[in-house]
Amino acid sequence: MYLIPSHEMLKKAQRCGYAVPAFNVHNLETVQVVVETAAAMSSPVILAGTPGTFTYAGIDYLVAICQSAARQHRLPFALHLDHHEALPDIERKVEAGVRSVMIDGSHLPFEENVATVSRVAQLCHRYGISVEAELGQLVGQEDDLTVDEKHGAFTDPDAAAEFAKRTGIDSLAVAIGSAHGLYKGEPKLDFPRLEQIRRRVDIPLVLHGASGLPEKMVREAIGLGVCKVNVATELKIAFADAVKGYFKENPEANDPRHYMAPGKVAMRKVVEEKISICGSAGKL
Ligand code: 13P
Q: For ligand 1, is residue 232 a contact (CB within 6 Å)?
A: yes
3-state helix, strand, coil split of the chain in percent (to 5) is 50, 20, 30
- At 142-184, the pLDDT tens digits run 777 776 776 678 999 999 999 999 999 999 999 999 988 888 8
Residue 82 annotated to the active site: yes
Q: For ligand 1, is residue 209 a contact (CB within 6 Å)?
A: yes
Distances (CA, A) of 9 to 14, 47, 70, 281: 9, 13, 15, 13
- pTM higher than 0.85: yes
Which DSSP category does 217 fall into? Answer: H
Q: At residue 25, does pLDDT exceed 60? A: yes
Q: Which of 60, 82, 148, 170 is catalytic?
A: 82
Confidence of residue 2 (pLDDT cuts 50, 70, 90): confident
Among 53, 55, 52, 23, smallest CA distance to 36 is for 23
Between vectors from CA 132 to CA 128 and to CA 136, what angle results, nearest 5°? 160
The answer to whether 57 and 70 are in contact (CB under 8 A) is no
Residue with CA at minimum distance from ligand 1 atom 1: 209
Mean pLDDT of 74-100: 95
State the first-to-last Cα distance of the chain, in angstroms, to the nearest integer.
14
The answer to whether 222 and 204 are in contact (CB under 8 A) is no
